Structure 1
Amino acid sequence: MKIRYFGHSCFKITTDSGVSIVTDPFDKTVGYPLPETDADIVISTHSHYDHNYFKAIKGNFDIINTPGEHNVKGIHIKGVNTFHDDEHGAKRGKNIVFIMDVDGIKVCHAGDLGHLLTDEMISEIKPIDILMIPVGGFFTIDDRQAVKVIDSLKPKLTIAMHFRTLAVDMPIETVDNFLKMTCGEKIQSNEIDVKKNDLEGKPKVIALNYE
């Protein structure tokens, strides 16, 4: 599969057969260039402007924005209910963690997860191969909490998201400290190609460029 990063929590995952999934598209107020790309499936983890701007996406796509089991265009997708804060949604509402079966690889997008996972949530999500996780804090878990979530889910590849860059003026942290804590690597490309055998060996942590 190919994974392209547009910034914030927005990725485009393209399967080997050409089916494309876009996650959490944002509007122009976020600061990044709009993810004006086509898609077969668009996933939205919650209904905030920086995660559900479907107008930025082209094509006749299916929208997945509810928990439970979904089978769309040959892709199995599971949504697990979580919260956008550490007060059971009292501050920012609910959040859905999505797990997608792509080319024999389980890809988990954590959305705006705002708390550590319960044992029940962990059992619903695991096992996973790739984890896309917010690390910027303030609206979501921070870098330290992200490390704890990684420890609980044990992905083979972790991709950081929802952090501050030169394009974003939100009160969230950069990815730098998270990468130091995890011995992670900043990739200068906005796209990577992942095969199942690439995920063998020691788990990796990366951050992608959005340009």
Structure 2
Amino acid sequence: MKATYYGHSTVELDLNGTSVLFDPFITPNKLASNIELKNIHPEYIFLSHCHGDHVHDMAEIQRQSNAEVIGIVETGDWVQKQGVPENKITAMNFGGTFKGNFGTVKMVHALHTNAAPDGSYAGAPAGYLLKSNGKTVYFAGDTALTIEMQLLKDEQIDWAFLPIGGFFTMDIGDAIKAAKFINCQNIIGIHYNTFPPIKINEGEAVKQFSDAGLNLQLLDIGASIDL
């Protein structure tokens, strides 16, 4: 299993040859100017919610890759309005599990808001618990710290993608608490540095996680890591 970071909260997982992409937001992100959409061809696109900084490049990537798009029911309705064929959309809800050729993904709770870029209602935000090739990965999406995370503590999560930028989501301190709630030692930071309100001191973030006995990875945009 390999993860590639495209900036903000956009992550691609290579699951034994199957590509899964989370929250595509690349072209408006000045920090991700080295990333070209034409090189991204996932089989599956998972959306944690419908804010513009998580769905901006969804339609273009879906068109060029013919990917299946998965999200909560109301977000699925918005996806269809963007021209994605109905047979390429899976609209699910909390507690549901999506089964793909790579393994399974369960939709879990997130504490945030959700509206489409046009302001229309897009349902609730969500996180995802992915299981593939004997590994378990948690993609939290945009979320504040929530006690619901403790429900994941027995899932034996190998790696977790947690927002750490604060202001719109958890900050570093709350992400450390979240890592303990979910009983996961290995964290990859997302949702930081893209905009002024979510800029962090990376060295201080790594130190705070290390002092708490946790491994925080802050990937360069375009970099990959074996999970």
* TM-score interval (norm. to shorter): 0.7 to 0.9
Identify unmatched segments of 5+ residues in structure 2: 73-92, 114-121, 223-227
User: Per the alignment, in what secondary structure is the counterpart of residue 206 of structure 2?
Assistant: helix
Equivalent pairs: percent with the same residue?
A: 26
Give the Cα–Cα distance (whole angstroms) in 2 for the partners of residues 125 and 84 of structure 1.
Answer: 21
More strand by share: 1
Identify unmatched segments of 5+ residues in structure 1: 86-91, 185-201
Give the Cα–Cα distance (whole angstroms) in 1 for the partners of residues 10 and 102 of structure 2.
Answer: 21
Instruction: Give a deviation string over 1:30-81, Cα, whole Å, max 9, x none.
Output: 3223561000111110001111131342312111112321112242000112
User: Per the alignment, in what secondary structure is the counterpart of residue 53 of structure 2?
Assistant: coil
Q: Displacement of 1:97 after TM fit? A: 1.0
More helix by share: 2
User: Per the alignment, in what secondary structure is the counterpart of residue 63 of structure 1?
Assistant: strand
2:127 is equivalent to residue 97 of structure 1: yes
8 Å contact kept, 2:153–2:183: no
2:147 is equivalent to residue 143 of structure 1: no
Partner of 1:189: none
TM-score under structure 1 length normalisation:
0.78
Give the counterpart letter for 1:149 in structure 2.
Answer: A
Give the Cα–Cα distance (whole angstroms) in 1 for the partners of residues 36 and 20 of structure 2.
Answer: 12
Partner of 1:174: 200
1:182-193 correspondence runs (5 A): 182-183=209-210
Give the counterpart letter for 2:24 in structure 1.
Answer: P
2:210 is equivalent to residue 205 of structure 1: no
8 Å contact kept, 1:163–1:175: no
Q: Displacement of 1:25 after TM fit? A: 0.4
Give the Cα–Cα distance (whole angstroms) in 2 for the partners of residues 180 and 156 of structure 1.
Answer: 14
Query: Which of 42, 45, 50 is matched with 1:47 structurally?
Result: 50
Give the Cα–Cα distance (whole angstroms) in 1 for the partners of residues 112 and 36 of structure 2.
Answer: 23
Give the Cα–Cα distance (whole angstroms) in 2 for the partners of residues 126 and 41 of structure 1.
Answer: 26
Q: Displacement of 1:19 after TM fit? A: 0.6
The alignment's C-alpha RMSD in Å is: 2.3
TM-score under structure 2 length normalisation:
0.72
